[in-house]
Amino acid sequence: MATEILMPALSPTMEEGTLAKWLVKEGDTVSAGDIMAEIETDKATMEFEAVDEGIVGKILIAAGTAGVKVNTPIAILVEEGEDASTAAPAAAAPAAVSAPVAAAASPAPAAPKADGQRVFASPLARRIAAEKGLDLATVKGSGPHGRIVKADVEGVSAAPKAAAQAAPAPAAAAPPAAPAVSASTIAKLYEGRSYTEVTLDGMRKTIAARLTEAKQTIPHFYLRREVRLDALMAFRGDLNRKLESRGVKLSVNDFIIKACALALQAVPDANAVWAGDRVLKMKASDVAVAVAIEGGLFTPVLQDAEGKSLSKLSSEMKDLAKRARDRKLTPHEYQGGSFAISNLGMFGIENFDAVINPPHGAILAVGAGVKKPIVNAAGEIEVATMMSMTLSVDHRVIDGALGAQLLSAIVENLENPVAMLA
C-alpha cells in the first residue's frame, strides 16, 4: 500500500516549514528511524525521521521549498513492486478531497489527542486506524519517540463506540475582526521613495504573531523596583577570582537567574502559567532567558534552576546561548518554563517594559547598572550602583500584591547574594 509522507509538525507552534534538504532519493529503501530530510521550522533546522519502512517511490516537494504547510504530502513511500503513481494524484491535486482526507474531521485519524497532548502516528497507521474505526489515543506507539506505526495498529480491534452524543449548539458568531491593511496599500504611501523590501522568514512571522497575541489577550500590568548592586558586584568579583583556575566567570545575569529561581520558590503562587481555563502552578523553577540572535530571538529554558549552582547555571546558559545563535536548539530547550528574563542592560538600556511570552505568568525586564546618588540608612548622600527592574505580570495568573511579593523576593536575593548560596 502506497503511503503519503506528510510534512511533520516538529514543534507545537509549527504551521509551516521549509524543506531544506532531502537526504534520500527516489528508489532508496528506508527503515523506521532513518533520517529522510532536514526541515527548517520557525526556530531551527531539524532532522525528519522515517516512521515506516518502504521504498521512496516519489518525492513531491523539492528541496529548498519554503512555506510548506504541516500535513502537506511531501513524498510517497511504497512497498516492493508497488507503483507510486497510485497515490500521486491525491498528493498532486490537494483540492480533490478523497474519502480518507474528508475523514480528517474525525478525531482518530487526523490529530488525535490524549489528555490534551497530540498523539503522533505515521500516515499509514492513521489510515489503518481510520478503516478500523480505532481511536489512536488508546494505542501505545513503538516507533521513534513513541510514534504509532503500522505494526501497532494491525492487530488491534476497535472498542465499541459509545452512543452518539447530541451535537453541541453552534457557538455565537464572533464579531468580524477589523481588516488588516494590505501590503500594497502601505506600499502606495511610499511611492517615489527608495526602500528595500524584506521578506519575513518563519521566525519573524512567529514573533509577530505571538507578540500580537500576547498584547491583545494578556492583561499586562507592570511593577517597578530599583536594586542596589554594590554587594553583588563585590561578591561576584571575589567569586570570579577564586573560580578563575576552573575557567569559570560568572556574569550579573547568572545571579539574576538564580535570584528569580529562588524567588519563585519563596513565592510559589507566582510560579504559574495560564492554561486557557485554569492556572497551572509549577513545582520547579524553570526560568527562560531571552537570547537575541540575527533576525529574532530565542528564550531557552533553564530547568530546575533553583537547585543548580551559579557555575552550573553559567555554563548551561553559555551553551544554550551559543546553540541559540547557531539555531541548533531543539524545541524542548526553548519551550515551557513559567517565568522569563529579558536583560538589555548590556546595551545601555536603563529600563523598559517586556512583553509576556505566553503561557508564562510574568517576565522580568532588567536594565543597566548605573551609579547614582542615594540617601543611605544614616540619612547621608552616597554613590551607589543601582539597577532598574520592571516585572510585567499577567493579571489572570498573578494579582498585584502577589506580584509585589515576587519582585521583593528577587530584590532581596540580589541585595544579599551570599544568602543565595545557603
pLDDT, one tens digit per residue, over 318-369 is 999 999 998 888 888 998 999 999 999 999 999 999 999 999 999 999 999 9
In angstroms, how far is CA 185 from the centroid of its own chain? 33
Q: Which runs of consecutive H residues, i.e. helices, occur in 245-380? A: 252-266, 310-325, 331-334
Please compute the mean of the pLDDT values over residues 50-73 and round it to a whole number: 87
Please compute the mean of the pLDDT values over residues 91-99 and round it to a whole number: 35
Q: Does residue 384 carry a pLDDT above 90? A: yes
User: CA 338, CA 31: separation in Å to the nearest integer?
Assistant: 39
User: CA 114, CA 85: separation in Å to the nearest integer?
Assistant: 35
Phi, psi of 273 (to 5 degrees): -130, 155
Please compute the mean of the pLDDT values over residues 93-98 and round it to a whole number: 34
Please provide the average confidence, as pLDDT, over all residues in the chain. Answer: 83
Return the pLDDT at 339: 97
Q: Does residue 176 carry a pLDDT above 60? A: no
Q: Does residue 141 carry a pLDDT above 80? A: no
Cell of 139: 494505542
pTM over 0.85: no
The CATH number, out of the four listed (3.40.50.300, 3.40.630.30, 3.90.940.20, 3.30.559.10), of the domain defined by the range 219-421: 3.30.559.10
3-class SS of residue 272: strand
Cell of 231: 554587594
Q: Which of 12-21, 76-85, 191-200, 323-332 has the least mean pLDDT?
A: 76-85
Neighbouring-strand partners of residue 382: 374
Cell of 200: 519575513
The amino acid occupying position 200 is L
Class of domain 3-154: mainly beta
Cell of 58: 516519489
User: CA 165, CA 14: separation in Å to the nearest integer?
Assistant: 32
Percent of the chain with pLDDT over 90: 44
Return the pLDDT at 153: 77
268-312 tens-digit pLDDT: 999 999 998 899 999 999 999 999 988 788 899 999 999 999 999
Return the pLDDT at 392: 97
User: CA 55, CA 148: separation in Å to the nearest integer?
Assistant: 19
User: CA 9, CA 103: separation in Å to the nearest integer?
Assistant: 20
Return the pLDDT at 173: 54
At what angle are helices 230-243 and 252-266 packed, to 10 degrees? 110
Percent of the chain with pLDDT over 70: 82
Q: Does residue 136 carry a pLDDT above 80? A: no
Neighbouring-strand partners of residue 37: 22, 48
User: CA 72, CA 7: separation in Å to the nearest integer?
Assistant: 5
Phi, psi of 56 (to 5 degrees): -70, 100
User: Band of the pLDDT at 103, cuts 50, 70, 90?
Assistant: very low
Q: Which helix (H) or strand (E) covers residue 408, if one does?
A: helix 400-415
Active-site annotation, residues: 395
Pinpoint the residues of the chain covered by CATH 2.40.50.100: 3-154
Of 299, 295, 273, whose CA–CA distance to 359 is shortest?
273
CB contact set of 73 (below 8 Å; sequence gap of 6+): 4, 5, 6, 7, 60, 61, 90, 91, 94
Cα–Cα distance list, 36 to 56, 81, 85, 231 (Å): 10, 21, 20, 55
Q: Does residue 190 carry a pLDDT above 80? A: yes
Please compute the mean of the pLDDT values over residues 238-262 and round it to a whole number: 95
Contact 371, 342 (CB under 8 A): no
Pinpoint the residues of the chain covered by CATH 3.30.559.10: 219-421
Q: Which of 155-169, 258-272, 304-318, 373-387 has the least mean pLDDT?
A: 155-169
More confident residue, 389 or 101: 389
